Structure 1
Amino acid sequence: MQERSEATDDHAGSREEVEETFNEFYERVAMTCFRYLGFKNLDQVDNITPYEYRLLMKSKELEMVDEEYKIHLQAYLNMSAQAKKRAGKKVKPVYTTFNKFYNYQKSLDRVMGIKKKSKFDGLAQFIKEQKKEG
């Protein structure tokens, strides 16, 4: 087994750092692969390149940030859904129906590229025609 080597860190003054042995580094990489990347055996760990490992780990970190975003968005939406407003002496919910809070069909249409006709579409067309004529 390899011995640990000690090095003094110039930035930390007299604090000493202990370098990892290859075996310790390999174990740390293997545990990370098992924990975060879904690897099931050491053959998978042995067949990954350092570049692939860094890329997969960066992707995992981004996935975790996305998950944090979803959690915070959910908390915000919970707070928004429970929002109240004053109506005279009474306090009423801001959103009286789910559809007023979140328009599912509008979101589907946006993703599918379906544009809803605006009442101003005809006006825009009229103005374009007037510019061509004038």
Structure 2
Amino acid sequence: MTKTSRQFYEDLAINAFRFLGCKSFKEINQMTLREFELRMIAFKLSQVDEDMKRHEQAFLNNSVRARDNKGNAIYKEFIDFYDYEERINEALKGTDLHKSKLDEKRINELKQIARNLREFREGRGTI
């Protein structure tokens, strides 16, 4: 069944409000059809990115619980699993921005969080 131009416009408007964050008909009417199509493609790709982040998080949640053959935790400290400072350095490489180092208090807080999490999980707890 072929849509009427009114049905087509209403579908476009609904999708623009729902997925593209448009707040008014004025905003929708200023968009070209090509812009709408490209923005919808970008939205769909961003959904794929979000889905990938969720799957990556699930993978990391599983990895952080990894044990060696003796049953010992592979990651004893948070920094063994994720080196924040190194990641910041990599992200800023080639820029003229300077990173601010984690202060000792924050490092100790993160270490304590990692220890608490490990102890909780070793006690068969779940989050």
Question: TM-score scaled to structure 1, two decimals?
Answer: 0.66
Report deviation, 1:78. Answer: 0.4
Gapped regions of structure 1 (runs ≥ 5): 1-17, 115-134
Gapped regions of structure 2 (runs ≥ 5): 95-127
Q: With CA pairs under 8 Å and 6+ residues apart, which has the higher RCO, 1 or 2?
A: 2
Normalized per residue, the structure richer in helix is 2
Determine the structure 1 residue equivalent to 2:8: 25
Instruction: Work out whether 1:40 is the aligned partner of 2:20.
Output: no
Give structure 1 regions of 4+ aligned residues with deviation exceeding 2 angstroms: none
Deviations 1:101-121 (A, max 9, x none): 01111111111117xxxxxxx
Count how many residue pairs are aligned between Structure 1 and Structure 2: 94
Report deviation, 1:20. Answer: 1.2
Percent identical across equivalent pairs? Answer: 33
Deviations 1:82-134 (A, max 9, x none): 112222xxx111111110001111111111117xxxxxxxxxxxxxxxxxxxx
Instruction: Work out whether 1:79 is the aligned partner of 2:79.
Output: no
Determine the structure 1 residue equivalent to 2:82: 102
Report deviation, 1:52. Answer: 0.8
| Root mean square deviation of aligned Cα | 1.2
Determine the structure 2 residue equivalent to 1:57: 40
